[in-house]
Chain A
Amino acid sequence: MLEAEAAHIFREVAGEFDRATLLFSGGKDSIVMLHVALKAFAPAPLPFSLLHVDTGHNFPEVLAYRDRIVEKHGLRLDVASVQDYIDKGTLRERPDGTRNPLQTLPLLDAIRDGRFGAVFGGGRRDEEKARAKERVFSLRDQFGAWDPRRQRPELWQLYNGHHEPGEHVRVFPLSNWTELDVWQYIEHEGIDLPEIYFAHRRKVFRRDGMWLTPGDWGGPRDDEPLCERLIRYRTVGDMSCTGAVDSSAATVGAVIAEITASRVTERGASRADDRLSEAAMEDRKREGYF
């Protein structure tokens, strides 16, 4: 039923918008989103392009996965690069080294340059309390900003995609899915994922209570010893703010068993950027983050 609803949302956008793109990070939510989209338009090719905002600190395994899937399905991929903006001097590295907040500007420029009226995101309402308030069709102004007080009411399955030139609509086909739904769907459909979602031995270090991967982005410091642990990732984002969890789950079935028993949310377990303040996600969405 969730799959049928997501397919309905993809087809509504294809029917109503001239140009749309699908935000693809190589994470499990965007992988599932792409899988449903491919099925929704089969046997024809996907009527959308993909867009990846590359922070410059992505996991190499995930980039390799991204390129493999683009090749396999003959998709068109645009890449907006945070590193390019830093090299040009348009964006400045933050003192804490995290690049997640820096994604917003390259994303908005890519949406403007591509003249995209609709941008699909893999966001789910169960992820975070500000996301729980997000519409399936979420109107963004010329600055990409989300205003929770001025959202359009969304009734039945009737989605209103009207927008002015310069505005766009963020569309979340997986709004009603939970983390467990995503994993059960991955199992049912036999979807291939980047290896880092499964248990592997990796050199990591401890910072702010999370296991982080060393890299050019700024870790570890001298007082942060490296050690090798059996870990996996619950979410896949920028290396600087995505933490690994101790895990021996090497298969989809084992991952499902593990998250069913977990007492911590996926974002609580692995996202440093949500901890910046009580309303970190809401504030970033207001600025145009998806």
Chain B
Amino acid sequence: MSTDIARARQRAGAAPRRSGGLLRLATCGSVDDGKSTLVGRLLYDTKSVLADQLAAIEEASRRRGQDDPDLALLTDGLRAEREQGITIDVAYRYFATPRRRFILADTPGHVQYTRNMVTGASTADLAVILVDARKGVVEQTMRHAAITALLRVPHVVLAVNKMDAVAYDESVFTAIVDEFTARAGELGLNGAVAIPMSALAGDNVVEPSSAMDWYTGDTLLAHLEHVPLGADPTGKPLRLPVQYVIRQPSGDRRTVERWLAGQLASGLLRVGDPVVVQPAGATSTVVALSVLGRESDIAWAPQSVAVRLADDIDVARGEVLTAGAAPRPQRRLTATVCHLDDRPLRAGQRVLLKHTTRTVPALVESVTYRTDIAVARRLPCQDGLAGNDIGGVRILTAEPLAVDDYADNRRTGSFLLIDPQDGATLSAGMVDAGADHQPDH
């Protein structure tokens, strides 16, 4: 980070950043891979589980006839989950070490895996893909790898769990890593860090293992503490979606000052900077900048700010202040969607599309393919997308949108499709302008 930003941060009185910052991670694994135990172990061994929570799970474990506290009970928070011993929905957990703070999206591995994993991965800086050492790479593993690649999660850990059940054998670990590396590479997923562990016994999760001296890498926690945070959003072109217009009557009450409020999706903004208002295309200059009520001469993503422009142009919620390489406003989008609803998504369907702070009517012109995500192959698609399917769509919107490619900007390249009748969230979309949308065969 450049020194003038650091100085501006100090001037603006920003909260001191704790060393290492905040890492958002998502965990994914199949049923019985021991994911709840892994998450429980992370919380337990980082001393994030407090005495009353531990007493509660000890008592519940005893009632179930288990001698040791079942760490999986820490994460299965709902009545039905405890009754069935499964995880139903994404849950968010919080823990911290002296080096870094963590928000963990705990995504269930069964039935509705895709939508839950997409949800968890959408905000993650890092994904942990869990494999059972006894079973090796299975179809579900590749599904997780494919979603991680699709959602462009910056870092991936392959956690080879239950090493205690294979006698901590190095050759088992190596074979799994080799197979995963080869197949994930075909999905465009490279650079995963593999760690052998036993969540049950506590090997290499937080404490180094004494049973695997052949492994010289980091424990999972040490890796989470040291992995660099995702790309600095301040280095990208300016994107400020306008959320709300704050009106301030002037001293004589005859004029009103308009402040455009929003959260910087990317880039830097300084007083004096020229901006283009998309999709309308009007131009102006920033004359005042306020970071949550405190005037400043600079702001950066992801701060929530308000700006005043030199010209009295019409700017409303849903428009985007941009600078630099501006997106070309368009009404036709090509995108990859993960369909979340149980009702299918079909060509010809009328939907609402929510992109940044703008919601517009839209038409699904065509569903171009469906991806078999276990093998990353595109299949022709006539019947539309079913729940949990991932596929390609072409969409026509009622008004032009200032979209970026998802590959360039996760925040301005993503959107939701919403049912105009009942308001349900139907699909999660990623703009993919350059993609070849032909099925493989």
Contact = CB atoms under 8 A, between A and B. Distances in A.
Interface in B43-66: 50-53, 56, 60
A264 B243 contact: no
Interface in A262-279: 262-265, 268-269, 278-279
* Interface size classification for chain B: 35 or more
Contacts, number: 166
A128 to B, nearest CB: 8
B283 interface: no
A282 interface: yes
B22 interface: yes
Interface string A1-21: 101110110011011000000
A269 B116 CA distance: 33
A140 to B, nearest CB: 13
- Which residue of A133, A158, A160 has the most chain B CB atoms within 10 A of its CB atom? A158
B330 interface: no
Interface string B19-60: 000100000000000000000000000000011110010001
Interface stretch (A26-34, A67-75, A149-157): A149-157
Contacts of B304: 3-5, 7-8, 11, 40
A155 B263 contact: no
Interface residues of A, number: 56
Interface in B163-204: none
- Which residue of B22, B293, B410 has the most chain A CB atoms within 10 A of its CB atom? B293
Contact of B92 (A44, A156, A176): A176
A33 to B, nearest CB: 14
Interface in A130-160: 130, 132-133, 148-149, 151-158, 160
A262 B50 contact: yes
- Which residue of A14, A43, A188, A268 has the most chain B CB atoms within 10 A of its CB atom? A43
B247 interface: yes
Contacts of B22: 1
A126 interface: yes
A40 B317 CA distance: 15
Contacts of B259: 43-44
B415 interface: yes
26 contacts: A3-B292, A4-B263, A4-B292, A7-B292, A8-B262, A39-B292, A39-B293, A40-B304, A43-B259, A44-B246, A44-B247, A129-B74, A129-B91, A130-B77, A133-B90, A153-B90, A153-B119, A155-B119, A155-B122, A155-B416, A156-B428, A157-B411, A176-B94, A180-B96, A184-B15, A269-B52
Across chains A and B, which 4 residue pairs bring their CB atoms closest together, nearest first?
A162-B423, A268-B52, A129-B77, A42-B293
Interface of A: 1, 3-5, 7-8, 11-12, 14-15, 36, 38-44, 125-126, 128-130, 132-133, 148-149, 151-158, 160, 162-164, 175-176, 178, 180, 184-185, 188, 262-265, 268-269, 278-279, 282-283
